[in-house]
Structure 1
Amino acid sequence: MSETNPEFKKELNLLNATSIVAGSMIGSGIFIVTAAMARDLGSSGWLLFTWLLTGLLTMSAALSYGELAGMMPNAGGQYVYIQKAYGKLISFLYGWTVFTVIQTGVIAAVAVAFANYTAIFIPQLDLTLADLGIFQISLKQIMAIISIVLLTYINTNGVQSGKKVQLFFTVAKLFALFALIVLGLYVGLQTDVLSSNFEHPWHAFKTIIKEDGTTEIINLSGLALVGAVGATIINSLFSSDAWNNVTFIAAEIKDPRKNIPRSLFLGTLIVTVIYLLANLAYLALLPIDGSPSGIDVMSKGMMFASDDRVGAAAANIILGNVGVFVMAGLIMISTFGCNSGIILAGGRLFYAMSKDGLFFKQASQLNKNNVPAKALWVQCLWACMLCLSGKYGDLLTYATFASLLFYILTIYGIFILRRTEPNMERPYKAFGYPFVPALYIVLTSIICAILLIYDTKNTGLGLLIVLIGIPVYYITQKKDK
């Protein structure tokens, strides 16, 4: 019977679910984005405040999602919650955006990051195979595609295979990150770097590199400072994203009404603490200020770490030149494990959409291993195309803004469903309701407004991608009728 009518198997426990939350969040961002944030803020105090605010926003959203997960422990997660609160059109727009840029764009970018750091060990990967004018095809892109195909294949062999890979890589990168933090603080606290970085912790300034290579300093205060924090927080929010992926696989989690809310809280808490400690380690090892023409990691500082690789600069202080290779290996582990969880989860959302007639029909089929293999391969195909497009960096900017919009909508859905579905079973209720969910909505809306003002082009394109889904929805619905 199971062969002719396969169905999802509940094979993921609380540990597996938590590893998907934490593992999907930790990719390459924590090792890179702090450099850009340092240039935008110039202040150790405001830098840590922005990371703390990111963690609190992420955890408050995760705790709010716990109520929805307990109410609707179905495959598709956030897509299901949005449909229950707003109907098919809005849920389609979410699924459309997830497929076009959010999920697949992140998969492509993380895979390319994996290939970039693999090239440190295998320099031949830097070879360009073809220059087509609009974009180039390199061995690194081929490597990125191979990693996506491999992880997709592993996940089509059943959730048992996927969960083992995810747990292994999550544990490995958590251990490596803790080692970086402990060693970084141990080495850094024997110097005066940390105390120097905190001499004027709240003196904020933006550093701009001019065309002639010189720098311009703009002091920040009042509304300008609020704008700078609101604009640069997109970096830390991207690094903390993908925590909601665990909701997509609700149908395969044991006792999902309890374990999904718990995993959301534990996973986001673990990552928030790690990110704060990692940035404290950076501040203990490297001066926050620096020069783009610096000759070593100390003179470049956090602001101008080579290629923004502030993590590699920190490892260089701890281990010398070998630190570059150690950090490259750590990021390879981190990005590979990150993509494992994102690929595993994404196929379930597209499966749920297909069940509702909003995605390719065959994506609703489970294979003999009880997983939506065809949905996984469609996701794989589009992510691989984004790897070749060379536009994944832009897509991430669009995707993060779009993600924030749907997080706001989803959490507001709690208020809607409290009114329209008062009798639905709620084994877990949103923490601090209504104040915590409302505060998240207000603060994240302010961040979105700031982003629209300070980065109108990219955020506008992100909004455009969402809106393009409206005619696509009506065209597909008309065709079905």
Structure 2
Amino acid sequence: MNTTTDKGFKSSLGLMDATMLVAGSMIGSGIFIVSADIARNTGSAGWLMAVWLITGFMTLTAALSYGELSAMFPKAGGQYIYLREAYNPLVSFVFGWTFFTVIQTATIAAVGVAFAKFTAYLIPALDEDVILMDFGFLQISSAQLVSIVVILLLTMVNTRGVNSGKAVQTSITVVKIVSLLGLVLFGLFAFNGDVWQANWLSGNAWNLQRLNADGSLADYTTFAALGAIAAGMVGAIFSSDSWHASSSVAGEIKNPGRNVGLSLALGTIIVTVVYLLTNLMYTGVLTMEQMAASDKDRVAMTAAQEIFGPVGITIIAIMIMVSTFGCNNGLIMAGARVYYSMAQDGLFFKKVGELNKSAVPGVALWLQCIIASLWCLSGKYGDLLDMISSVVVIFYVLCIIGIFRLRKSRPEAPRPYKAFGYPVLPMIYIMMGTAFIILMVIYKPNYTWPGIIIAFLGVPVYYLIRKKALPIGDS
């Protein structure tokens, strides 16, 4: 029987539901696409796998560390709550501001448009090149409208209660995990010995170099090689993001002190293993040159054509449609709880901090829907997602530093679960995350400074809200 906690939320999500929320929010379109860019940045099968291994290690380490924070503060809002408790309201507001303006809403838009793009393989009239309306300054394509309809539909489902959202999430996540493992299995049957020889046994498996789409190679200097690894990790980090989804809905999870941290670990492990197996499969059916030259970076489609023949395109299109649909459901469900927590602190519109008759933050869900739909229309969500990669990691690093701060400032606070491998593993993550951020600032400034600027714009907004005696909280 459901219980009600955290100011009216219903604790309806079990461990399985929370784990599937984590895994389903992580698996979107990235695993089907980003390996093409990683192949170009690394130029070898060994370093392709190394990028995914490094990212998987970082993600799992962060998830295991977040378990301590989720056990200490089992409330809706996740990272927003952790940053507020470890630092102050300003830091948490800057996160919430960035999360609302770009991180979550632009990701929802990007995943929605990815759904539409691959739907177009089955229904060409829905392609992004089919322009329905042209206003001169704004063009609206079929794909954009489809993405908005999907976001509207999933938002409506989630406003009807957490049980509606979890039913969609759990069922679709199971389907897409099984589908990915099925793709890996069929890839083993289609294993090409010559391709494996070229990728792994020719002596080039660990040559880190730039692989251009035309097949030409370029060597890196030592420091540029580090930048190339960081650049390759952008896609892997994007594909592995949202691993913290269950922490945002902690107020609706049964026994959150145990199950939030456990779901973070289990969901992350499942996805990391699936991602590694999928990329290993790629190296068994495609040469590095084929991966790098995949049309529109759709490396999974290139692989599927090798495995299944012409019907492979249809198979992958359906898989990505299912994957992105489930991914967006998880993103929509989790994101609204962060804005709810901000409103509870008087840092967002008051109505956003209220629950509807189904005990979910309905206004927060619809506001998120509006902003995500605007990103769909803007056509700029893809650029912004690249720009915020380093900002996302900055907040992860801050949260994990927060574990050390809270151990010192609140030694007596109950900790049902303590960060695995503390202090070594959390410190390793902090060092790796910081190194990634620095390398991105040096080698990809066009992708990092805009995201950092967007985050810092939240500082004057915070003080403006405080100076006006929280008018949006009192409205």
Partner of 2:61: 60
Matched to 1:475, the amino acid is: L
> Which 4+ residue blocks in structure 1 deviate beyond 6 angstroms?
none
CA-to-aligned-CA distance 1:395-430 (integer Å, 9 cap, x gap): 111222211110010000000000001111001101
CA-to-aligned-CA distance 1:432-458 (integer Å, 9 cap, x gap): 111110110111101111111111012
How far apart, in 2, do the equivalents of 1:135 and 1:31 lie? Answer: 29
Shift of 1:320: 0.6
Partner of 1:179: 182
Partner of 1:293: none
Partner of 1:223: 223
How far apart, in 2, do the equivalents of 1:119 and 1:361 lie? Answer: 40
Partner of 1:193: 195
How far apart, in 2, do the equivalents of 1:390 and 1:283 lie? Answer: 33
How far apart, in 1, do the equivalents of 2:247 and 2:36 lie? Answer: 32
Secondary structure in structure 2 of the residue aligned to 1:120: coil
Secondary structure in structure 2 of the residue aligned to 1:9: strand
Matched to 2:198, the amino acid is: S
Matched to 2:256, the amino acid is: P
How far apart, in 2, do the equivalents of 1:192 and 1:272 lie? Answer: 27
How far apart, in 1, do the equivalents of 2:427 and 2:311 lie? Answer: 48
Partner of 1:339: 328
Matches within 5 A, 1:74-473: 74-126=75-127, 127-189=130-192, 191-198=193-200, 199=202, 200-208=204-212, 216-220=216-220, 222-289=222-289, 301-473=290-462
Contact 1:6/1:370 (8 A) holds in 2:
no
Matched to 1:202, the amino acid is: W
Contact 2:152/2:369 (8 A) holds in 1:
yes
Contact 1:204/1:221 (8 A) holds in 2:
no
Secondary structure in structure 1 of the residue aligned to 2:288: coil
How far apart, in 2, do the equivalents of 1:34 and 1:345 lie? Answer: 27
1:43 aligns with 2:44: yes
How far apart, in 1, do the equivalents of 2:321 and 2:391 lie? Answer: 27
Matched to 1:217, the amino acid is: L
Matched to 2:20, the amino acid is: S
Shift of 1:131: 2.7
CA-to-aligned-CA distance 1:324-356 (integer Å, 9 cap, x gap): 000000000000000000100111111110000
Runs (5+) with no aligned partner, structure 1: 290-300
Contact 1:243/1:264 (8 A) holds in 2:
yes
How far apart, in 2, do the equivalents of 1:326 and 1:217 lie? Answer: 32
Matched to 1:415, the amino acid is: F
Partner of 1:294: none
How far apart, in 2, do the equivalents of 1:43 and 1:99 lie? Answer: 37
Pairwise CA RMSD: 1.5
Partner of 2:473: none
Contact 2:22/2:264 (8 A) holds in 1:
yes
Partner of 1:292: none
Partner of 2:29: 28
User: Cα 1:83–1:6, aligned 2, differ >3 Å: closer, same or farther?
Assistant: closer
How far apart, in 1, do the equivalents of 2:99 and 2:7 lie? Answer: 26
Contact 1:41/1:47 (8 A) holds in 2:
yes
Shift of 1:360: 1.2
Shift of 1:221: 5.4
Contact 1:6/1:368 (8 A) holds in 2:
no
Runs (5+) with no aligned partner, structure 2: 471-475
User: Cα 1:131–1:207, aligned 2, differ >3 Å: closer, same or farther?
Assistant: farther
How far apart, in 2, do the equivalents of 1:115 and 1:230 lie? Answer: 29
Shift of 1:6: 7.5
Shift of 1:250: 0.3
Shift of 1:316: 0.7
How far apart, in 1, do the equivalents of 2:236 and 2:364 lie? Answer: 30
How far apart, in 2, do the equivalents of 1:315 and 1:11 lie? Answer: 39
Contact 1:101/1:398 (8 A) holds in 2:
no
How far apart, in 2, do the equivalents of 1:206 and 1:98 lie? Answer: 33
How far apart, in 2, do the equivalents of 1:431 and 1:400 lie? Answer: 25
Shift of 1:311: 0.3
Contact 1:105/1:399 (8 A) holds in 2:
no
Shift of 1:234: 0.8
Percentage of identical aligned residues? 49
How far apart, in 1, do the equivalents of 2:136 and 2:43 lie? Answer: 38
Secondary structure in structure 1 of the residue aligned to 2:37: helix
The two structures have a TM-score, normalised by structure 2, of 0.95
Secondary structure in structure 1 of the residue aligned to 2:420: coil
Contact 2:169/2:330 (8 A) holds in 1:
yes
Shift of 1:246: 1.1
Shift of 1:230: 1.5
Secondary structure in structure 1 of the residue aligned to 2:180: helix
How far apart, in 2, do the equivalents of 1:89 and 1:398 lie? Answer: 22
How far apart, in 2, do the equivalents of 1:349 and 1:404 lie? Answer: 18
How far apart, in 1, do the equivalents of 2:140 and 2:291 lie? Answer: 31
CA-to-aligned-CA distance 1:188-214 (integer Å, 9 cap, x gap): 15x3211221122111210346xxxx6
How far apart, in 2, do the equivalents of 1:71 and 1:99 lie? Answer: 24
How far apart, in 1, do the equivalents of 2:110 and 2:184 lie? Answer: 25
How far apart, in 2, do the equivalents of 1:52 and 1:220 lie? Answer: 21
Contact 1:136/1:390 (8 A) holds in 2:
no
Matched to 1:61, the amino acid is: A
CA-to-aligned-CA distance 1:359-389 (integer Å, 9 cap, x gap): 1110011111100000000000000000000
Contact 2:388/2:452 (8 A) holds in 1:
no
